[in-house]
Structures are given as structure tokens and as C-alpha cells.
Structure 1
């Protein structure tokens, strides 16, 4: 795993031991950031189900103003903190060891949200529901969901809109956006 672009370009991230954390592949990560490349700089980002923290760290490397990393696993939180420190992003990063769904109930105001829970769970649907319920995505914000290719995702209520889907082998990336209420 490495940072693909930006101020930390090419730097290696610490990888997890064992199979408890499934990092996003570099190919999929690069594709995600190609899709949202103009929506990162100066933005506030949430890396929910952070794992290694690589999506949020990539966002920081590309100019995100701040990233909040959330994971319930002690091992994941330690790995995220280590990777943030190695990259020198301590001042722009907040790490919370907390249940992701409980965290969403505290509100937010995020421009970009990464959702990459364990594939075999139903956490992605629950997280999407809570994001919409608590309305923590800013207007014109983006939610990026990583799932198995055959995982159906819900159609949200306006002003949230399910956008394009991209397939990379057995992985699917689905985008959601929050429109201006006047446009919806």
C-alpha cells in the first residue's frame, strides 16, 4: 500500500497483520480518487470503517483540510494513528475508536464520506440510512461506497441521489451525492 498522489506521493503505509482488515487495493483507490479528484482539496472528509486509514490519508495528501477516521477495532485505530504519524498529518487528522453507526449519530458536516465496511456485513445500508437520517453530508457532498460487485444499494430520498456505479473486477464503487434542495 502506498500513497498515490499529492504531498505524500509514493510513501508506503503500514499494512495490517492477519485478515481482520481488508485494505482497498491501490488500483481501486486510484480509480476512486480519479473520480473525485476535484472534490477533495480544502474539504472535510470522513473515513468511516477506516481500517488502515489509507483513503483518508490519500485525501489528506491531495489537500483535504481535515479527515476524521473512525473504526471500532483497537488494531485498526493503532494502525491508522501510526500511518498518520508516519505521513506527518497529525494536525489535520482526528481518530476515533468508536462504533461507526454511533459516531454518525453525533452529526458532522462532511464534504466527502468514505464507506468501506466489511463486505459480508449489512453495515453499509445502516450507515447510509444514518447519514441521511442525521443529514451529516454537506450540500453537494459525496459519499463513496465500496462493496462487492453484486451488492445492491438503496435508492435514497431527495436531496440525496444515488449516482454512478463503477466496477473493478469483484469490487463495486457507488457514488451518492446531496444536491441543493432547490435543484432536487
Structure 2
């Protein structure tokens, strides 16, 4: 796993071994960013279920100014911290070791606007996609926000979350990437 493009291009990232997380492959990550970017002029990213941080770090490398990472698993969180430090993004990041539901409740109380939302929960935890609706209802996404969901091929996500509608759906093996925007 590595940073695909931007100011940290080629930087190797540590990935969690075992079955507790499912890192987004470099190929899929590159495809996602070719669709949604490929480069950004500032903005805030929220990487729910961050794992070792590949998507949020990639967003920072490509020009986002701030990223919030949420990861519950202890081993993954430790690697996330190491990857952030290795990429020298400590000043541009917030890391929360907590459940995504609790993190979203906390974010809804803050004065924050999210430009890039990445939602990639464990495939068996379909209810976590409802957190997108929570963020939309609390007006935490910018008008031009992009929502990227990674999910199993047997999971059907809605055609919209508020005004954010499904713009593109790509299949990669046993995974689907669904991208929403206004």
C-alpha cells in the first residue's frame, strides 16, 4: 500500500494484517481519485472506518487541507498514527479511536463542514451507511461535497442521501464503489 499521487506520491503506508480491516487497494484508490479529483484545492475529508488511513492520507496528498480519521480497532489505529506521522500530516489531521456512530454524533455538535466523505465499514455492518444521512440532516456536508462508499456487491445503497445523488457506481471484484454528489 502506498500514496498514489500528490505531494507524498510513492510514500509506502503500513496496512493492517489479518481480517479485522480490508484496505482499499492502490488500484481502487487510484480509480476513486481519478473520478472525484484527481487533485483538490483545500477542503476537509472525513475518513470513517479509516483503517490504516489510506483514503484520508491520499486526499491530503492531493491537496485537501484537513482530514478527520475515525477508527475503532486498536491495531489499525496504531498503524494509522504511524502512517500520519510518516507522511508528516500531524498538523492537518484529527484522529479518533472510537465507534463511528459516536464520532458522527460528536461531529454533528461541531462547527464543521466536510468536503470529502469516505464510508467503508465492515461489509456485514450495513447499518453504518445510515451515518451518511445523519451528517446530511445536520448540514455537515458542503454543497459540493463528494461521498464515496465502498460496499459489498450484494449491498444496495439508496440512490440519494438528501440532495446528494448517486453519480457513479464501479465494481472491483467483490467490492463496489458508489460515488454521490450534488
Q: State the partner residue of 1:132.
A: 136
> What is the distance in 1 between the residues matched to 2:19 and 2:158?
28
CA shift for structure 1 position 103:
1.4
Q: State the partner residue of 1:182.
A: none
Q: What RMSD over aligned residues (CA atoms) do the two structures have, in Å? A: 1.6
SS of residue paired to 1:68: strand
Query: Which consecutive segments of 4 or more residues in structure 1 shift more than 4 A?
Result: none
Going from structure 1 to structure 2, the CA distance change for 1:157 and 1:85 (only over 3 Å counts) comes to closer
CA shift for structure 1 position 169:
2.2
Aligned residue pairs, count? 178
> What is the distance in 2 between the residues matched to 1:73 and 1:9?
27
Q: State the partner residue of 1:49.
A: 49
TM-score (norm 2): 0.91
Going from structure 1 to structure 2, the CA distance change for 1:54 and 1:157 (only over 3 Å counts) comes to closer
Going from structure 1 to structure 2, the CA distance change for 1:20 and 1:158 (only over 3 Å counts) comes to closer
Alpha-carbon contact 2:133-2:162 (below 8 Å) kept: no
TM-score (norm 1): 0.90
Q: State the partner residue of 2:116.
A: 112
> What is the distance in 2 between the residues matched to 1:158 and 1:75?
35
**More deviation, 158-167/81-90:** 158-167
Gaps of 5+ in 1: 180-184
How do 1:66-145 residues align onto structure 2 when only pairs under 5 Å count? Answer: 66-105=66-105, 106-107=107-108, 108-145=112-149
Going from structure 1 to structure 2, the CA distance change for 1:38 and 1:29 (only over 3 Å counts) comes to closer
Q: State the partner residue of 2:172.
A: 168
Gaps of 5+ in 2: none
- State whether structure 2 residue 154 is matched by structure 1 residue 150: yes
